[in-house]
Amino acid sequence: MKVAVIGSGIWGACTAYFLNKEGCDVELYDMWGAGNSRSGSGGASRIIRLAYGYDEIYTELTNNSFNFWQELTDESERELYNECGMLWMVSQNDSNYIKNSKKHIESRGHSLVQIEKKDAKKKYPEINFDDINEIYFEKKAGALMASRCCKNVVRKYQSEGGKFYLGKVKVFEDKLNNKESFTFNDKVINADKFVIACGPWNRILFPKMLGSKTYISRQEVYYFSVPNNNANNYNLSNIPCWLDLNENNPSYYGIPFHLNKGFKIAYDERSTIFDPDKDDRIPLTHLVERTKKYFYYRFPRLHRLPIAETRVCQYENSLDGNYIINYHEDNDNVLILSGSSGHGFKLGPGLGELVKDIITSDKKIPNFFNISRLKNIKTESQYYNSQIKYNKKRLFN
C-alpha cells in the first residue's frame, strides 16, 4: 500500500514512521521540515503526563508512547526525554480532574500521590504554596525535548527507508474524488491513502470540513533566567514539571531550567486568535506582564530575574478540545488528523501507531475522535467562548 503523509509535525512523523515499519510504501511531505519554528511541534520542550481526568483514551495513548520515547532517547547522543515527574498544584477548589485521573494512571501500573503542603514546602523551597489547596505528584511524567524529538523521529524513519520531501503540498478539497487533488511541485501525488497532519494549516487546506470545527489560538512561552550561582537548584533534577490547576485564571505550567535556556513557563488559555501565516511571533506586552506577575509570585526567589528567551506558537484547537480523527466525507482514502488542541505532543507515538492500524488493518476509529460530535456546538460568535463554556471543568495542555 502506498501512503502519502502530509505534514511532519509529531503526528505526521510518528504516523509515517509506524506505517513504514509496517511495510507500507510511505512518502512524507513537509513545507519547512520536521519540528520547524512555525509548527506546533517546534520549540524546545513539552510535558508528558498521564493525568487526563476522566478521558482515559489519552492516558492510554500516552502510556503507549513511553517505550518509544525511551528508545529514541537511548539511541540519541543528546537528551530527548527527562523523566523528572510532574507536580500538580490545585489552586482552584475542585480537584476532580486529578482525582478522576488516579484510577486510570494506577491501572497502568503508575502512581499519583497526594503530598501534604508542609512536605511540599520542605521539598520544593523555591515554590510558594500559600494559595495552593492540594498537591499531587505524578512520577511517570516529564519533559520531552520537542523539536529534537520530532527531527529524530523523521531521521529514524528515513534511516529505515522512508521517503521525505521538503516543500508545500497543494490540496484541492473541492475535487477530492479527483485523482489530481494533491500535488507537489505541480506533479500529482499518487497514493492509495492520504494522511493529513498539517496542524494549524489543516483548516486552511480543508475549509469545508474544518473551517467551523477548529480555531487557532496564540500561545506565548517564556524562559526566565535563573541565578548564575545556583542554576542547579532550578533544573529538572530538583524541580519537576508542574502545573497550577486554576479554572478562573489561566492555568500556568512550566518546565524548570533545561537545555541551558531558562525556566520555562506558559499558560493554558486559548482566547486570542492567531494566524499561523501572517502574525508576527513576538510576545504581547500585557501577556508578558501578566506572566511576570504570576511567575514572581509562585517562585519568589526568582523575583525580578529577567526573561532570557521567548517563543510564540499556536494551538490547533477543536471546539471541544478533543482530537479529530476522521476520513473526509468526500473521499474515504483521505484521513484527517486535526484538533490537537495544545496537548498532542506527548502521545505522538501512541497516536501514530493507532493511525497505522486504522490505515493498514481497518481498525475502528474511536468514536471519541469522530468529528460529528462537533455538529451541534454553536460557534457563531467567538469560537473560544464556546470552547471555554464546553470545557469549563477540563484542562488542556
Ligand X SMILES: Cc1cc2nc3c(=O)[nH]c(=O)nc-3n(C[C@H](O)[C@H](O)[C@H](O)COP(=O)(O)OP(=O)(O)OC[C@H]3O[C@@H](n4cnc5c(N)ncnc54)[C@H](O)[C@@H]3O)c2cc1C
**What are the residues binding ligand X (CB under 6 A)?**
6-12, 29-32, 36, 39-41, 46-47, 168-169, 197-201, 205, 219, 221, 266, 313-315, 340, 342-346, 397
Q: Which is nearer to ligand X, 228 or 359 (CB)?
A: 359
Cβ atoms < 10 Å from Cβ of 161 = 10
Cell of 79: 537528551
Residues 194 and 4: beta-carbon distance below 8 Å: yes
CB 215 to ligand X: min, Å? 14
CB of 117 to ligand X, least distance (A): 25
Rounded distance between C-alpha atoms, residue 19 and residue 195, angstroms: 11
The widest CA-to-CA distance across the chain, in whole angstroms, is 65
Minimum CB–partner distance for residue 6 and ligand X (Å):
5
Supply the minimum distance, in Å, between the C-beta of residue 324 and ligand X: 11
> Residue 23 or residue 55: which is nearer to ligand X going by CB?
55
- Shortest distance, position 369 Cβ to ligand X, whole Å: 13
Count of CB atoms within 10 A of residue 71's CB? 14
Residue among 121 and 163 whose Cβ is closer to ligand X: 163
Q: How far apart are CA 117 and CA 168, in angstroms?
A: 52
Category of 161 on φ-ψ map: left (φ > 0), alpha (ψ -120 to 50) or beta: left
Rounded to whole angstroms, how far apart are CA atoms 120 and 123? Answer: 5
**Taking the complex as a whole, how short is the minimal distance between the CB of residue 387 and ligand X, in angstroms?**
15
Task: Using the minimum distance from each CB to ligand X, give the nearer residue, 85 or 199.
Answer: 199
Q: How does 293-318 read in b/e, with b if 16+ C-beta sit within 10 Å? A: ebbbebbeebeebebeeebbbbbbbb
DSSP string covering 364-387: PPPGGG-GGGGTT---SS-HHHHH
User: Which one, 33 or 366, has the nearer CB to ligand X?
Assistant: 33
Which is closer to ligand X, CB of 41 or CB of 225?
A: 41
